[in-house]
Amino acid sequence: MNRWAYISIAAGAALWGTIGLFVQELYRLGLTPLQVVALRVSCAVIFLVSYAFVINRQWLRIHIKDSPIFIGTGVISVVFFNWCFFIAIQETSISVAAILLYTAPAFVLLLSRILFKEPLTARKLVSLALTLSGCMLVVELLPNGLITMTTFGILAGIASGLFYGLYSIFGKFALKIYHPITVTTYTFIFATIFILPVSQIWTWAAYLSDLKIWLYAASLGLFPTVLAFIFYTKGLGQVEAGKASIVATLEPVVAAFIGMLFYAEVLQVWQYIGVILVIISVIAVQNISITKFNKKSKMDQSV
């Protein structure tokens, strides 16, 4: 069962890595980052609510007292992660912003230790170090190095990593109470309620008459959003939050290959090395869980 949970998380991360395909086209059509975020979460809500309404309406029921959890997953995580990430890109560079975003596993490992008492083992720390090193190579922060960064940009990038990582924390609490579809649906409902007024949708309604915008927005809302979060959240219910966050760092690896295949971006030797490091770290984390599962099964059989 754990193996399928890891596969589910990896599938979600791979779908997240396709975001650039749709976002780039929406940018070319004149939308701003904030508008793209608003369209992304809004389309996600339409897909999720429709799916839940047809398959199981019970998934649409939550207790009002649990709203703070979904404010956590939807507003504090999804909305603020995107906002801080875009600021970091503007203030520093895409490469630096991506690396700072993937400080998320470090935050998750530490918070998981405090909140869930998950052990902070040497193997987890080694896997985390391999992941971060691999990401640095993939986005070319290494070995090129010297990049001028503003303090505001660095803080925004670190904040994006924190907010991104908090989805695993809030999601862990939510999954103790609700079905993964319920968690994902209300994450985006709360995100949409917050982002639409902030994005001032009434000022850019003219864009919405363009069929191409709706095509790309629907694709963005379905593949790297709804399906990605469903896969990730479902896997998160059976895997430690810290390990899930490390596995999810497959996203920048997929994004690098997307750039190579669709935008003729050629990977350098060190980028391939980075890809290999990330894959090794994912395999290492998965093997920890499989080994523990096998030991537990043998103990159960001997009883």
pLDDT computed for residue 293 by the predictor: 42
Report the C-alpha gap between 271 and 244 in whole angstroms: 23
In the three-class reduction of DSSP (H, G, I as helix; E, B as strand; rest coil), residue 119 is classed as coil
State how far the Cα of 243 lies from the Cα of 285, in Å rounded to an integer. Answer: 6
In angstroms, the CA 233 to CA 22 distance is 22
CA distance 122 to 21: 37
By residue range, what is the domain housing residue 32? 2-302
Residues belonging to the chain? 303
167 Cβ neighbours under 8 A, 6+ residues apart: 73, 77, 78, 81, 187
Q: How many CB atoms lie within 10 A of CB 65?
A: 7
**Total domain count for the chain?**
1
- Output the tens digit of pLDDT for each of the chain's 303 residues: 578 888 999 999 899 888 878 887 888 888 888 888 899 899 999 999 999 999 999 999 999 999 999 999 999 999 999 888 877 777 776 667 777 787 787 788 778 888 878 888 888 888 888 888 887 787 677 777 655 567 788 888 888 889 988 888 888 889 899 998 999 899 999 999 999 999 888 888 788 888 999 999 999 999 998 899 889 888 888 887 778 877 887 877 787 777 777 867 667 788 788 878 877 877 676 655 545 545 544 434 333
